[in-house]
Amino acid sequence: MFTFLPIKDIDAVVQEHLLDPSARKAQHMLARELVELVHGPHEAKAVEEQHRLLFQKKSANVLDDASEHASSPQISANPHPDPNYITLNNRPKINVQLPASVLETLSIARIVFAAGLAASATEAHQLVQNHGIQIGGMAGKAKSSEPGFVIWTKVAAWKNEETAKYLIGGDLLMLKRGKHNVRVIQVVPDEEYTSSGRTYPGQKIRSGPLSNMELRNKKVMDNLRGPKGQENLDED
């Protein structure tokens, strides 16, 4: 086994796996260990949640299929199907990082747009209004009720602060549109996100508090550089 875990810990996981193979505890542990060795603990945590989601219990899938049947698009016999129809084969990458300020200041519809689950803020708003987006986890609980079992709740146009209650492990947010279009969002500090040079959909549409502060500072500096501002500086 490709891991640096002590033998006694491996034996304990094997025993748990033998008691309930469907929980796939050994596979989850091994996947996390390998990803952590290569990419670090943050990426390992995100991948672990993704792995649990993809291999959740069949009973969860049955309930999920039933709730999605009425709204999910039907597979067309057209040899050139709608490219917007997401399947297991063409679904986009589900690991996404967003800055903490997004979760703290944006509406759930804006977060859906920022996560790439809608083509525009308007579409995201309509999806939320029509209960077309689901969120994983349970409000106020840092962990799912059972390992490998994700409880999905239909998103509503709630207050901004309500979204943070669905964080898993303090920094993971799970959103889903349809059956397979899923985002596992890792919330990172604003400084880390900014230094990475990444941007998210809608970022230029709505400026954060820091950007507004920078604009105000720029206006002050511009005034100081003008004739009156220069006179004021000379007088000082």
pLDDT in tens, 180-222: 888 889 999 999 999 998 899 998 634 455 555 555 665 666 6
Distance CA(176)–CA(109), nearest Å, equals: 13
Residue 125: count of CB within 10 angstroms of its CB:
18
pLDDT on residue 105: 92
Say what the pLDDT of residue 170 is: 85
Q: What is the CATH number of domain 57-70+84-216?
A: 3.10.290.10
The predicted model scores a pTM of 0.51
| Average pLDDT estimate for 43-47 | 63
pLDDT in tens, 54-98: 555 444 443 444 444 434 333 333 444 454 455 545 544 557 899
Q: What is residue 77's predicted lDDT score, i.e. its pLDDT?
A: 36
Give the pLDDT band of residue 47 (cuts 50, 70, 90). Answer: low
Q: How much is the pLDDT for 58?
A: 43
Segment (H or E) for 98: strand 95-99
Mean pLDDT (whole number) for 113-124? 94
- Distance separating alpha carbons of residues 152 and 171, to the nearest angstrom: 17
Long-range contacts of 222-227 (CB under 8 A, 24+ apart): none
Structure confidence at residue 66 (pLDDT): 41
Q: List the beta strands (DSSP E) in 123-232.
A: 134-136, 152-154, 172-177, 181-188
d(CA 116, CA 123): 11
Convert the pLDDT of each residue in 120-161 to its tens digit: 999 999 999 999 999 987 665 555 445 456 788 999 999 999
| pLDDT at site 193 | 92
Asked whether the beta carbons of 32 and 60 are under 8 A apart, the reply is no
Taking the C-alpha atoms of residue 23 and residue 16, their distance in angstroms, rounded to an integer, is 9
pLDDT of residue 65: 44
